[in-house]
């Protein structure tokens, strides 16, 4: 049974995901609108004073990014699980970790990247000083893939559950704690001209670690959910 | 079959495990009580008060052992979970599931005693101290595993999902602890170091006694819960039916 | 400000949580056994 | 193990007292059979007796609680779900699966795709989106997989359901060519729809649901 190089399967899967995402463009906006809503709630809640907002800006933007990612994670494998596509993928002999990675990359490009692109707007709203903006974008660029990779494990574990949504956030939030701490401290350090490369370095290490380990955990979770 | 496989196979069979763990439990409880009584006697009455914090340091003999236990149990759950997932040994799955509530109980005690211990010196019950915050995150990890187990309807699949989650959680646990520790020093200057640079030698003995006592407690409680779980799962099987008829007459 | 109330509270709460965590399985095992025995008795009566 | 001699016989698939436990209860009584090339095995049994569970065991989605399965290669499993995306057209769906499963002739992908759609009789709806298909058309679409995948062992879960007479004739044709080419097939059916004109073995399954009679330990 000749199995072509898994590379073509990876590309075929990515192309299909983009096509599907394109066909459901409206649904892509939901997590992003949610992101904007969450950030606008903070000035309404804590008051518009620029100094206060600037102080909490990194935390607020990052927490909003985290919530928006988790919101879009639930549908990561769900539609494939329900119409039997996931079953055939598992049986196709292609490495399941690769399929998990392809789905996660597609999810990041569709849900994570827009957050990075929207961050200047959020920084403006939260009155983040200019020195911090570049580092905010950098930290989001490194951090959002980690959110998708670790979130994919939770998504795969809860895919066969009817009300998997809340359970998914309970599972992944503790795992996001280190990333949140490092990212917000990097941006805050940049704002007051303190060194921030250490935090970004650790986040990149986290990205590489989750890039190599998370797909295997997701693959195991998918096989388990299908059994 | 080679002997090792035979051993696992035999200990893996529920009736065998049920019978022999039953014999072990009373001894574990006895050891737990003995060590606790002796440890508490030393800790509360013999050991000196701390020169800085005064009497409130005596809470250490409960807070520190329970904090250690909460982390140890999660690590054990990950190891047992790995064995359960790879070799599909049902007893390991039952042990993982039965450990989760005990670990959560220890974490809750560690949190409460930690905040009570800090109250006199901090002035409030809760300060985002590094250790307490990590314990809180650990509690969420426990709730995550327990909630995941209860979300599935088929018990074997639920146990495997919980095992996988405890492995993923255990890998992240040290990273969480270091990042929270680092986060705490970032925001609050040097950490409070509530149990002081060096522990007074006479404080060490009760601490170690209590630490071993909590391990026996874990052993006894785990086996009790595992036997209950086996009974609940196998209630239609013959060995449970025989057990019932043997017990009733 | 003496610390004894805090120490007592800490050990009391600790004891209560440990005791409840230890007793819970024993109680549910007893009720499970009773339930299984009734079911078995009903089974024998109906055969 | 007692059935060590399974592997040397020229069987496509050999199963010895296979069973699966769900909720610590046997789903079906242990099943044993052998399947050699060119033969069709029909699995019959009442609803809920574990036919789909058996197929998922053979496909490798489930791990057996008892017994052993010896198979040469990964079989093709066509289950209840047609694996069609509602937002993609029939052609896009089939093209994706051909690329993903890596069929041999990567070059004339579209040509092969046209041919497959022609054979399953969905050419008029080839460009329509998945959600607009009827149950019968969805079933035909899931059977398209049999044409472009080169697995020699097929596991079909009630393939005749929702098919109209032409569909049944089409499936018989595909099945006949597959068996003559040395392939093998295991098919489940509960209703009266049975393949005619094939020399088939039959395996009747008994549900394992004895409520309180002491099931074996």
- The per-residue pLDDT for range B125-180, each reduced to its tens digit, is 888 888 899 999 999 999 999 999 999 989 999 999 999 999 999 999 999 999 99
Q: Which of A157, A170, A175 sits opposite B164 (nearest CB)?
A: A157
Residues in A closer than 8 angstroms to B171, CB to CB, are 213
**Quick check: B164 and A224 CB within 8 A?**
yes
The model's confidence at residue A163, banded by pLDDT at 50, 70 and 90, is confident
Q: Which of D22, D63, D212 sits opposite B236 (nearest CB)?
A: D212
pLDDT given at position A185: 92
**Quick check: D25 and B239 CB within 8 A?**
no
Please give the Cα distance from A131 to D24 (Å, whole number): 61
pLDDT given at position C15: 95
Touch criterion met for B and D (3+ Cβ pairs within 8 Å):
yes
**Quick check: B56 and C26 CB within 8 A?**
no
In sequence order, which ranges of chain C are alpha helices (DSSP H)?
Answer: 4-46
pLDDT given at position B190: 44
Interfacial B residues in 181-200 facing A (CB < 8 Å): 182-183, 186
The residue range of the domain holding B85 is: 58-248
Instruction: Report in angstroms the alpha-carbon separations of B163 from A222, B95, B140, C2, D61.
Output: 14, 10, 16, 46, 19
Structural domain includes residue B226? yes
Question: CA of B76, closest CA in chain D: separation in Å?
Answer: 25
pLDDT given at position D217: 38
Interfacial B residues in 217-246 facing D (CB < 8 Å): 233-234, 236-239, 241
Residues in D closer than 8 angstroms to B238, CB to CB, are 214-217
Mark D88-122 as b/e (b = at least 16 C-beta within 10 Å): bbbbbbbbbbbbbbbbeeeeeeeebbeebbebbbb
Q: Which of C2, C10, C40 sits opposite B116 (nearest CB)?
A: C10
**Quick check: B116 and C6 CB within 8 A?**
yes
Interface test with chain C among B47, B73, B228, B243, by most C beta carbons within 10 Å: B228
pLDDT given at position D130: 87
> What are B61's two structure tokens?
């003999």
pLDDT at A142 over 70: yes
Q: Which of C3, C18, C28 sits opposite B217 (nearest CB)?
A: C18
DSSP assignment of A165-213, as one string?
A: HHHHHHHHHHHHHHHHHHHHHHHHHHHTT---HHHHHHHHHHHHHHHHH
Structural domain includes residue B10? no
pLDDT given at position D202: 81
Please give the Cα distance from D50 to D80 (Å, whole number): 14
**Quick check: B116 and C9 CB within 8 A?**
yes
**Quick check: B161 and A157 CB within 8 A?**
yes
Q: What is the ipTM metric for this complex?
A: 0.89
Residues in A closer than 8 angstroms to B140, CB to CB, are 170, 173-174
pLDDT given at position D107: 63
Residues in D closer than 8 angstroms to B155, CB to CB, are 23-24
pLDDT given at position D116: 87
Please give the interface size between A and D, counted as residue pairs whose CB atoms are below 8 Å apart.
78
DSSP assignment, residue B42?
I
**Quick check: B119 and C6 CB within 8 A?**
yes
Residue B32: phi and psi, rounded to 5, are -60, -50
In sequence order, which ranges of B88-128 are alpha helices (DSSP H)?
Answer: 90-122
* Segments of chain D assigned E as strands: 13-19, 21-22, 25-26, 31-35, 40-44, 66-71, 76-78, 153-157, 184-188, 200-204
Q: Which of A35, A22, A20 is nearest to A72 (CA)?
A: A35
In sequence order, which ranges of B127-200 are alpha helices (DSSP H)?
Answer: 130-151, 155-188
Residue B236: phi and psi, rounded to 5, are -90, -15
Average pLDDT over residues C11-21: 95
Q: Which of D162, D194, D198 is nearest to D183 (CA)?
A: D198
Locate the chain A residue with the closest alpha carbon to D72.
Answer: A1
Question: CA of B205, closest CA in chain C: separation in Å?
Answer: 18
Residues 6+ apart with CB under 8 A from A154: A73, A168, A169, A171, A172, A175
Interface test with chain D among A8, A12, A79, by most D beta carbons within 10 Å: A12
**pTM attached to this predicted model:** 0.90
Interface test with chain D among B97, B153, B237, B243, by most D beta carbons within 10 Å: B237
Check if the beta carbon of residue D48 is closer than 8 Å to that of residue D207: yes
Check if the beta carbon of residue B84 is closer than 8 Å to that of residue A224: no
> What are D25's two structure tokens?
């209860």
**Quick check: D100 and A13 CB within 8 A?**
yes
Q: Identify the chains in contact with A, defined as 3+ C-beta pairs within 8 A.
A: B, D
**Quick check: B237 and D215 CB within 8 A?**
yes
Instruction: Report in angstroms the alpha-carbon separations of A220 from A27, A154, A173.
Output: 28, 11, 20
Mark B99-113 as b/e (b = at least 16 C-beta within 10 Å): bbbbbbbbbbbbbbb
> What are A27's two structure tokens?
């649904």
Residue A88 Ramachandran class (φ > 0 left, ψ -120 to 50 alpha, else beta):
alpha
Please give the Cα distance from A107 to B28 (Å, whole number): 51
Return the ∠ at Cα B36 (arms to B33 and B41), rounded to 5°.
125
Residues 6+ apart with CB under 8 A from A118: A32, A35, A36
* Spans of chain D, pLDDT less than 70: 1-10, 103-108, 191-193, 209-217
pLDDT at C34 over 70: yes
pLDDT given at position B188: 57
Locate the chain D residue with the closest alpha carbon to A25.
Answer: D87
Residues 6+ apart with CB under 8 A from B174: none
pLDDT at A14 over 90: yes
> What are B53's two structure tokens?
């914090």
Split into its structural domains, chain B has a count of: 1
Check if the beta carbon of residue B106 is closer than 8 Å to that of residue B141: no
Residues in B closer than 8 angstroms to A182, CB to CB, are 179
Domains present along chain D, CATH in parentheses: 1-75+151-217 (3.40.50.300), 85-150 (no CATH)
Interfacial B residues in 54-113 facing C (CB < 8 Å): 54-56, 58-59, 62-63, 66, 101-102, 105, 108-109, 112-113
* Spans of chain B, pLDDT less than 70: 1-2, 5-12, 186-198, 248-249
Locate the chain B residue with the closest alpha carbon to D20.
Answer: B156
**Strand D13-19 relative to strand D66-71, pairing:** antiparallel
Structural domain includes residue B47? no
Locate the chain D residue with the closest alpha carbon to A16.
Answer: D96
**Quick check: A83 and D81 CB within 8 A?**
yes
pLDDT given at position D216: 41
């Amino acid at each position: 049974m000749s199995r072509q190089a898994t590379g073509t399967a990876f590309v075929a899967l990515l192309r299909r995901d983009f096509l599907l995402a394109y066909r459901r463009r409206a649904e892509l906006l939901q997590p992003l609108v949610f992101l904007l809503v969450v950030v606008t709630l903070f000035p309404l809640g804590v008051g518009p004073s620029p100094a206060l907002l600037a102080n909490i800006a990194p935390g607020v933007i990052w927490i909003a990014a985290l919530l928006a990612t988790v919101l879009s994670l639930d549908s990561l494998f769900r539609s494939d699980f329900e119409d039997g596509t996931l079953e055939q993928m598992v049986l196709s002999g292609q490495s399941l970790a690769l399929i998990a990675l392809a789905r996660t990359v597609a999810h990041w490009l569709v849900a994570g990247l827009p957050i990075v692109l929207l961050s200047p707007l959020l920084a403006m709203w939260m009155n983040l000083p200019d020195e911090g903006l570049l580092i905010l974008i950098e930290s989001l660029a490194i951090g959002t893939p980690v959110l998708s990779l670790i979130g994919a494990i939770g998504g795969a574990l809860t895919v066969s559950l009817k009300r998997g949504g809340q359970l998914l956030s309970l599972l992944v939030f503790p795992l996001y704690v280190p990333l949140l701490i490092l990212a917000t401290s990097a941006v805050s350090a940049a704002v007051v001209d303190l060194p921030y490369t250490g935090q970004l370095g650790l986040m990149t290490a986290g990205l590489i670690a989750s890039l190599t380990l998370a797909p295997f955990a997701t693959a195991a979770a998918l096989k388990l959910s299908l059994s | 079959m080679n002997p090792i496989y035979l051993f696992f196979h035999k200990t893996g069979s529920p009736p065998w495990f049920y019978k022999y763990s039953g014999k072990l439990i009373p001894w574990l409880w006895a050891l737990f009580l003995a060590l606790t009584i002796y440890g508490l006697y030393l800790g509360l009455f013999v050991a000196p008060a701390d020169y800085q914090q005064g009497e409130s340091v005596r809470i250490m003999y409960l807070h520190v052992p329970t904090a250690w236990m909460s982390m140890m149990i999660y690590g054990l759950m990950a190891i047992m979970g790995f064995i359960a997932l790879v070799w599909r040994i049902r007893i390991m799955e039952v042990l993982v599931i039965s450990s989760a509530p005990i670990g959560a109980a220890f974490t809750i005690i560690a949190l409460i005693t930690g905040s009570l211990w800090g109250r006199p010196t901090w002035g409030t019950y809760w300060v985002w101290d590094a250790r307490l915050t990590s314990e809180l995150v650990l509690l969420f990890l426990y709730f995550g595993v327990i909630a995941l187990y209860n979300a599935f309807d088929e018990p074997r699949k639920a146990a495997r999902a919980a095992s996988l989650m405890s492995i993923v959680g255990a890998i992240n646990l040290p990273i969480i602890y270091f990042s929270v520790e680092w986060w705490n020093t970032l925001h609050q200057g040097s950490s409070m170091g509530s149990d002081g640079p060096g522990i007074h030698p006479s404080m060490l003995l009760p601490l170690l006694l209590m630490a071993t006592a909590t391990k026996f407690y874990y052993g006894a409680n785990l086996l009790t819960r595992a036997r209950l779980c086996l009974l609940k799962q196998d209630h239609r099987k013959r060995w449970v039916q025989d057990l019932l008829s043997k017990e009733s007459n | 400000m003496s610390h004894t109330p805090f120490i007592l509270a800490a050990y009391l709460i600790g004891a209560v949580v440990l005791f409840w965590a230890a007793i819970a399985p024993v109680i549910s095992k007893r009720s499970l056994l009773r339930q299984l025995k009734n079911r078995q008795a009903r089974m024998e009566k109906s055969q | 193990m007692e059935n060590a001699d399974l592997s040397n016989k020229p069987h496509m698939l050999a199963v010895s007292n296979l069973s699966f436990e769900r909720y610590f209860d046997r789903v079906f009584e242990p099943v044993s059979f052998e399947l050699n090339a060119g033969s069709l095995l029909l699995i019959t049994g009442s609803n809920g007796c574990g036919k789909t569970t058996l197929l998922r065991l053979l496909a490798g989605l489930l791990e057996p609680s008892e017994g052993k399965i010896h198979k040469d290669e990964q079989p093709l499993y066509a289950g209840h779900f047609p694996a069609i995306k509602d937002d993609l057209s029939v052609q896009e769906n089939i093209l994706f699966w051909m690329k993903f499963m890596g069929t041999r002739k990567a070059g004339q992908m579209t040509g092969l795709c046209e041919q497959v759609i022609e054979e399953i009789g969905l050419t008029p709806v080839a460009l329509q989106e998945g959600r607009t298909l009827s149950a019968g058309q969805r079933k035909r679409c899931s059977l398209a997989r049999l044409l472009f995948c080169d697995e020699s062992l097929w596991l079909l879960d009630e393939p005749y359901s929702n098919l109209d007479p032409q569909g049944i004739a089409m499936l018989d044709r595909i099945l006949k060519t597959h068996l003559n080419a040395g392939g093998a097939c295991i098919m489940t059916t509960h209703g009266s729809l049975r393949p005619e004109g094939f020399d088939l073995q039959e395996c009747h399954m008994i549900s394992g649901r004895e409520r309180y009679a002491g099931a074996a330990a």
